[in-house]
Amino acid sequence: MNAADSPSPASGHDHQASMEGLSARMRGLTTGMNVDNQHNAVVPPIYLSTNYGFEGLDGRPPIDYSRGGNPTRDQLGRALATLEGGAGGTITSSGMSAIALLIDAVVPVGGHVIAPHDCYGGTWRLLDTWAGTGRLTVDWVDETDLPSLQTALTAFEGQEVRTSLVWIETPSNPLLRITDIAAVSRLAHARGAVVAADNTFCSPLLQRPLEFGADHVISSDTKFINGHSDVVGGSVVSATAESAEQIRYLANVIGVTASPFDSWLTLRGLRTLDARLRVHAENTERIVELLTSHPAVNAVHWPGLPDHPGRRLARKQQDGPGSLLSFELDGGIDAVRRFLDGLRGFTLAESLGGVESLVCHPFTMTHAAMSERAKADAGVTESMVRMSVGIEPAGDLLACLHEALERV
């Protein structure tokens, strides 16, 4: 049973009953609407209270203390579980705390993890730090190459150690490489490993990794889910009720759950995710058209392009190519400087997935901590610019880009 089908402890009448037969998308995006039975508030009220009264010694309320449970945060958890097609969701203080929580829940001390060689820098740093303290061991693998994954999975044949977790991140950053979620899940499960996918770049409206066999989905809700660049947050959604409960339990034990206010803002942002993604997609198509036809641009990396190596796979497991892309300018770092110097309409900043258009220079910004060698392996060059296309009027974005490209 889907978690969103069970009435919230905080809801008076059951909104979900009246949503029967409607799509998961509809039910997820409207979770918590029209459930207030005190005032018939259309938008769910926010519960800031840290504690909830007992009805006598035998009357523990469903929610007693906000670290473990909070009506507002639980609504967001149900919304995301519904959208991902999972059994339950836990909302955390950041994407990184969601990732740390999941790893801690499924990897025993000394356990082995396989992660993509070009995964998010924060994930890389967490696994590298925990490998340094002896908490776990990690192998970095190009997961778009299934034979290398198979080799890593069978490395411990006949030994007591085995791989506990295979981490997937697709599309990757900043080259938008696509990993086959179904194939990786099959190989990992055949060896008894748990599979978790970082779905930050797509959001559940463009990709639902649980449908392709992943056991858990984690997300930095800081990005598309909230979408307004004003909350840092994360989530873990699990395929089974049992693992969802295990994650929820551990989140309370460690204390990484999100604040009610952040949860409320994120739920507010989530309402428009479907509409935002449509404009993101429209704008991205037009920007890609400009970039691929401009002589100052040497290469464009976007899974919607016919020559992108992951195009077929993206069509299979994604409902759209997304609004993140990277491109390489003719003329190296100097060309990048000329492009950025005076660029209007786009902010030079890290992060992604907000309503505002951003550019970043992975070589000196998001991927600066990587060694020259690691950058070369991951394909991060000095002439590369990454773009998160926003939802501003397309004509203006195109005009600003054109202006900047003419300077290159």
Ligand X SMILES: *Cc1c(COP(=O)(O)O)cnc(C)c1O
What are the residues binding ligand X (CB under 6 A)?
94-96, 120, 122, 169, 198, 200-201, 220, 222-223, 232, 234
d(CA 249, CA 247): 5
Q: 120 catalytic, yes or no?
A: yes
Q: Does residue 375 carry a catalytic annotation?
A: no
Within a 13 Å sphere around the CA of 84, how many CA atoms are in the beta-carbon half? 36
Instruction: Considering the complex, state which of residue 201 and residue 212 has its C-beta at the smaller distance from ligand X.
Output: 201
Query: Would you call 223 a catalytic residue per the annotation?
Result: yes
Residue 379 in tokens: 């394909």
* From 118, 142, 180, 198, active-site residue: 198
Pick between residue 187 and residue 352 the one whose CB is nearest to ligand X. Answer: 352
Residue 232 C-beta: closest distance to ligand X, Å: 5
Percent helix / strand / coil, the chain, rounded to 5:
40, 15, 45
Nearer to ligand X, 8 or 366 (CB): 366
Out of 47, 73, 74, 120, the active site residue is: 120
CB of 96 to ligand X, least distance (A): 4
CA distance 112 to 122: 18
H/E segment holding residue 404 = helix 394-407
Query: Which of 67, 162, 191, 315 is an active site residue?
Result: 67
All residues at 6 or more sequence positions from 124 whose CB lies less than 8 Å from its CB, including other chains: 115
Side-chain-side CA neighbours of residue 373 (13 Å): 0
The CB-of-353 to ligand X minimum distance in angstroms stands at 8
Shortest gap between Cβ of 293 and ligand X (angstroms)?
29
Nearest Cα neighbor of 367 from 179, 99, 196, 124 is 124
Catalytic residue status for 67: yes
CA distance 218 to 196: 7
103 vs 408, beta carbon nearer ligand X: 103
| Residue closest to ligand X when measured from CB atoms | 95
Residue closer to ligand X, measured from CB, 10 or 387: 387
Tell me the C-alpha distance between 280 and 114, whole Å: 32
Among residues 78, 135, 223, 338, which one is catalytic? 223
* Minimum gap (Å) between residue 328 Cβ and ligand X: 21
Q: What are the residue numbers of the active site?
A: 67, 120, 198, 223
